[in-house]
Chain A
Amino acid sequence: MKISLDSFDKAFENRLRLQIMSVLAANDYYDFNALKELLNATDGNLASHLKALEKEEYITVNKSFIGRKPNTQYTASSKGIHAFKKHLEALENLIKQQKR
């Protein structure tokens, strides 16, 4: 059965973006390399989806240096957490509707 996606957040339509948001919702912060390893994503792919989430103001970016190596940390904003919870609720509601 096909289900309409109207109630879902367009920003989370992509699976990787939803996964990024799950990780950031469960942790205070996560850095780029650790995210890359955890999600098995390529540099470019991960960077572009992170950029998209940043544009939505769902995440905040904090760039710093460890020695001479750049270190980029990502934190979920309260707006992002809210949107993520909303999206999960929509998913759960759909399952409930299916069971009826």
Chain B
Amino acid sequence: MEEKDIYSELSSIRNLMERSSKFISLSGLSGIMAGIYALIGAFIGYRIVYNGYGGLRYRSNYINEPEVLWQLTFVAIAVLILSLVTGIWLTIRQANKKGEKFWNPVSKRLLVNMAIPLSTGGLFILILLSRGDYGTIASACLIFYGLALIAGSHYTFSDVKWLGFGQIVLGLLAALFPGYGIVFWTIGFGVLHILYGSIMHFKYNQ
């Protein structure tokens, strides 16, 4: 056995251990796009609630009016679907580029592990909605999303964990300052996603 064979053997082992246990086709670009959708959604949501008045004036609309609530829910669902579709599409493209399968044991484990906190959070938020606890919804979104990211981070880039911590901290702050939910929501889903997506894009995609 030659010396360079040993090197190639060791690097192939490392590569296999990483590739078999981590899903490395996540696209940074999809994070940036999700962030942009969230910013647009937050802006539209803000306009719906404040109806064109500045934040300093007396509010003419409140979120407990059914019509406003439906509009906000529609915006939120649109943002979610757009982010998911873009994310899945970009990730499949990335996986193809790397010559890997998009649907493999690791991506399955990643999704299962994220699904537990996400579905718990989703149900929790539905309960909050039905009880009219609108003030804590933004906080719950951020906290459960952060927990899902941390749970998933074992099966992908470890950077995802830091995004998760960021979301949880913002979620807790949002709970401390009720009424500013949209501010924390925008920072978490908009700014943090764009920041994280750009870091990932330049770190791994280049």
- A interface list, Cβ under 8 A from B: 1-3, 5, 15, 18-19, 22-23, 25-27, 30-31, 34, 37-39, 88, 91-92, 94-95, 98
Contacts and interface: CB of A to CB of B under 8 A. Distances in A.
13 contacts: A18-B9, A19-B13, A22-B16, A22-B17, A23-B17, A27-B105, A30-B20, A30-B105, A37-B101, A38-B104, A91-B9, A92-B10, A95-B7
B3 A38 contact: no
B20 A95 contact: no
Nearest to A95: B6
Given A3-B3, A95-B10, 19 more contacts: A3-B1, A3-B2, A18-B13, A19-B12, A22-B16, A22-B17, A26-B17, A26-B18, A26-B21, A27-B20, A27-B21, A30-B20, A31-B105, A38-B19, A38-B104, A91-B6, A91-B10, A94-B6, A98-B3
B109 to A, nearest CB: 9
A22 B2 CA distance: 21
B194 to A, nearest CB: 32
A38 B13 contact: no
Interface of B is mostly: helix
A22 B104 contact: no
Contacts of A30: 20, 105
B1 A2 contact: yes
A26 B19 CA distance: 10
A2 B3 CA distance: 8
Contact of B3 (A26, A27, A95): A95
Contacts of A38: 16, 19-20, 104
Contacts of A39: 16
B2 A1 contact: yes
Contacts of B3: 1, 3, 95, 98
A70 B76 CA distance: 42
B14 to A, nearest CB: 8
A69 to B, nearest CB: 15
A18 to B, nearest CB: 7
